[in-house]
């Protein structure tokens, strides 16, 4: 059975991590920065050395096209090399370097699969400086126009288009001639489950949906010393009751993940009863039906207080009549990956002699976007402590290598 080169993969991970390395630990290659371009150029040079044709599209996505002369539809593998502000070294980089390693292994083996194999590295998956995240894959599948992507601006008003032009970041190539029909992405789990279960490989069956809300509770600001308890209108107390009720929701909806991550009091002084409390609710579920169930609970709970949902389409004149208001911050439907890709990953893990379990991705990934156009799937490997987006992000070498071998075996199965 074919195997990737463990030492070459690990050495490539080391080498790419020197680009944008931070003083003490960690990496920073924000999308559309000089370091991001340098990271992508490093991959381009590796592909060129292998004799793989490189193509760059109008937003800067990189494709390494190999075996284009094969008849079958294309099989795409990869991820992204941009990072968050103080990132670890694996995240998207592992998926791109494992794809590179698969190409190199296949080229060395002399075998020719039945379909073109395309390494893909999508731009701006992280969405730190320029929103939306997953920008490159959204553009690739046609969900985001080039002009919308280029006009995305950072906090200083600088646009993606300006940075692309400054860096000569983009090209005019496409891969539309290859009729790609499958996408597969290797990634670290960014969660604790595989490590906790002692399992090598996560066979990802889908990405959970996401529903973000912001709730604002109004009361009256008054002196903490002079205002008797029964004459108070304490926004903190009212918000607390709502938060407590919301936090019980995962007990009633299995697999719901609910997080109250941000709470802001105003005026936030020790001796003043707060007049405003704003908090966020992050709800995630693999099932669209259950996510809607959770949203309805939230909406009913807040409506029981007489809350008005902030809705631009609301008829004029229907001013908020209540001291509670809420609005949606983000909404993404769950994604179910293609069953044939999921099965191929399971078989590939067996081929590689690794333990495996099916799981849902808790975080968003390019694969869920690409699934709109291609049948897609993902492979997870364990993350120590579930830590990611942090210099302490770490996966053991055996898992990095194992994940790349599963990617190789899945490519062989899917292209045979």
Would you tell me which residues interact with a copy of itself (CB under 8 A)?
189-193, 196, 208, 210, 212, 222-229, 231, 234, 236-237, 240, 243-244, 247, 250, 256-265, 268-274, 277, 280, 282, 284, 329, 361-364, 386-389
Alpha helices in 82-204 (DSSP H): 91-109, 135-140, 146-150, 160-167, 193-197
Which residues lie below 8 Å from residue 375, measured CB to CB, with a gap of 6+?
181, 182, 183, 337, 338, 340, 341
What is the C-alpha to C-alpha distance for residues 150 and 368, in angstroms, rounded to an integer? 22
Q: Which is nearer to a copy of itself, 30 or 43 (CB)?
A: 30
Q: How far is the CB of 194 from a copy of itself (least distance, A)?
A: 11
**Considering the complex, what minimum distance in angstroms separates the CB of residue 263 from a copy of itself?**
5
CB of 360 to a copy of itself, least distance (A): 10
CB atoms within 10 A of CB 244: 10
Pure H helices in 248-396? 249-252, 288-304, 339-351, 366-370
Q: How far is the CB of 81 from a copy of itself (least distance, A)?
A: 20
Closer of 70 and 363 to a copy of itself (Cβ): 363
Smallest CA-to-CA distance from 276 within 221, 212, 213 is with: 221
Nearest CA among 207, 107, 186, 108 for reference residue 354: 186
User: Which is closer to a copy of itself, CB of 247 or CB of 314?
Assistant: 247
Q: Which is nearer to a copy of itself, 251 or 313 (CB)?
A: 251
Give the residue among 82, 99, 89 at the shortest CA–CA distance from 47. Answer: 99
Tokens representing 241 are 């009751």
Q: Which is nearer to a copy of itself, 19 or 210 (CB)?
A: 210
CB-wise, 21 or 240, nearer to a copy of itself?
240
Tell me phi and psi for residue 42, to 5 degrees: -60, -45
Min CB(390)–a copy of itself separation in Å: 9
What is the nearest approach in angstroms of a copy of itself to the Cβ of residue 346?
Answer: 21
Q: How far apart are CA 144 and CA 139, in angstroms?
A: 5
Rounded-to-integer distance, Cα 169 and Cα 306, Å: 51
By beta-carbon proximity to a copy of itself, the closer residue of 168 and 229 is: 229
| Nearest to a copy of itself of 62, 277 (CB atom) | 277
Q: What is the sign, positive or negative, of the torsion defined by CA atoms of 214, 217, 221, 226?
A: negative
Kindly tell me the burial class for residue 127, based on how many C-beta atoms sit within 10 Å of its own C-beta (0-12, 13-18, 19 or more).
middle
- Residue 274 C-beta: closest distance to a copy of itself, Å: 6
């Amino acid at each position: 059975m074919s195997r990737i080169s463990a030492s070459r993969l690990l050495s490539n991970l080391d080498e790419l991590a020197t680009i944008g390395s931070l003083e003490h630990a960690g990496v920073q290659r924000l999308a559309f920065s000089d370091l991001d371009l340098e990271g992508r150029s490093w991959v381009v040079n590796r592909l060129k050395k292998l004799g793989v044709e490189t193509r760059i599209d109008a937003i800067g996505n990189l494709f390494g096209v190999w075996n284009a002369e094969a008849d079958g539809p294309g099989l795409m593998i990869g991820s992204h090399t941009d990072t968050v502000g103080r990132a670890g070294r694996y995240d998207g980089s592992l998926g791109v370097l494992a794809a590179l390693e698969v190409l190199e292994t296949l080229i060395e083996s002399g075998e020719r699969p039945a379909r073109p194999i395309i390494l893909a590295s999508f731009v701006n998956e992280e969405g730190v400086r320029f929103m939306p995240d997953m920008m490159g894959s959204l553009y690739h599948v046609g969900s985001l126009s080039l002009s919308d992507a280029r006009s995305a601006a950072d906090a200083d008003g600088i646009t993606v288009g300006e940075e692309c032009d400054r860096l000569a970041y983009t090209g005019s190539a496409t891969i539309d001639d290859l009729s790609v029909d499958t996408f597969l992405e290797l990634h670290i789990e960014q969660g604790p489950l595989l490590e906790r279960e002692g399992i090598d490989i996560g066979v990802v069956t889908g990405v959970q949906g996401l529903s973000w809300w912001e709730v604002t509770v109004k009361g009256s600001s008054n002196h903490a010393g002079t205002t008797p308890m029964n004459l108070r209108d304490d926004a903190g107390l009212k918000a607390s009751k709502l938060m407590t009720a919301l936090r019980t929701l995962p007990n009633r909806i299995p697999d719901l993940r609910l997080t109250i991550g941000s709470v802001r009091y105003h005026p936030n002084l020790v001796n003043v009863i707060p007049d405003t409390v704003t908090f966020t609710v992050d709800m995630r579920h693999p099932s669209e039906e259950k996510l809607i169930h959770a949203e309805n609970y939230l909406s009913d709970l807040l409506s029981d207080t007489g809350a008005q949902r902030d809705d631009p389409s609301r008829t004029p004149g229907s001013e908020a009549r209540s001291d509670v208001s809420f609005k949606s911050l983000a909404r993404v439907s769950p994604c179910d990956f293609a069953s044939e890709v999921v099965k191929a990953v399971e078989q590939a893990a067996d081929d590689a002699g690794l333990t495996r379990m099916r799981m849902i991705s808790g975080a968003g990934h390019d694969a869920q976007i690409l699934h709109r156009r291609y049948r897609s799937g993902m492979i997870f490997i364990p993350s120590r402590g579930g830590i990611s987006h942090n210099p302490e992000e770490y996966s053991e070498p055996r898992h990095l290598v194992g994940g790349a071998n599963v990617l190789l075996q899945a490519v062989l199965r899917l292209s045979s």
